[in-house]
Structure 1
Amino acid sequence: MMKQLKTLLIAATLLFSTSQVIAQAKIAHVDTNEIMSKMPAMMEAQKQLDNLQKTYDKEFKTMVDEYQSKLEKYNREAETVTEQLNTERAKEVQDMEKRIQDYRQTAQKELNQKEEDLMKPLMDRAKAAIEKVGKAKGYQYVINSTGLLLADGPDLTTDVKKELGF
Structure 2
Amino acid sequence: MKRPFLVLALSLSVAGTSFMAGCQQKAGNAGKNTSQSTATSPDSSAVASSDTSVTSTAATTSTPTTATAPSQKFGYINSAELLKIMPETKRAEANLEAFVKNLEKQFGGLQSEYQTKVTEFQAQEKTMVDAVKETRIRAIQDLEQRLQQSQVSGQQQVAKKREDLFKPILDKAEKAVKDVGKENGYDYIFDTNTGSFIYAKESHNILPLVKTKLGIK
TM-score normalised by length of structure 1: 0.72
RMSD over equivalenced CA pairs, Å = 1.6
Change (3 A) 1:88 1:147: closer
**Greater per-residue helix proportion:** 1
> Within 5 A, what are the aligned runs for 1:42-61?
42-61=89-108
Question: Could you say which residue in structure 2 is the equivalent of 1:123?
Answer: 170
Are 2:126 and 1:75 equivalent residues in the alignment?
no
Question: Could you say which residue in structure 2 is the equivalent of 1:153?
Answer: none
> Within 5 A, what are the aligned runs for 1:1-166?
24-146=71-193
Instruction: Name which structure has the greater RCO, CA cutoff 8 Å, separation 6+.
Output: 1
Pairwise CA distance, 1:34: 0.8
Query: Can you list the C-alpha shifts for 1:28-74, whole angstroms capped at 9, x where unaligned?
Result: 11111111111111111111111111111121122111111111111
Identity of aligned residues (%): 28
Pairwise CA distance, 1:146: 2.8
Q: Distance in 2 between matches of 1:29 and 1:92?
A: 58
Q: Which has the larger radius of gyration?
A: 2
Counterpart residue type for residue 146 of structure 1: N
Query: Can you list the C-alpha shifts for 1:3-37, whole angstroms capped at 9, x where unaligned?
Result: xxxxxxxxxxxxxxxxxx9x811001111111111
**Greater per-residue strand proportion:** 2
Change (3 A) 1:110 1:69: same
Q: Distance in 2 between matches of 1:125 and 1:144?
A: 16
TM-score normalised by length of structure 2: 0.56
Residue-pair matches, total: 127
Structure 1 stretches lacking a partner, 5+ long: 1-20, 149-166
Q: Distance in 1 between matches of 2:151 and 2:194?
A: 34
Structure 2 stretches lacking a partner, 5+ long: 1-68, 196-217
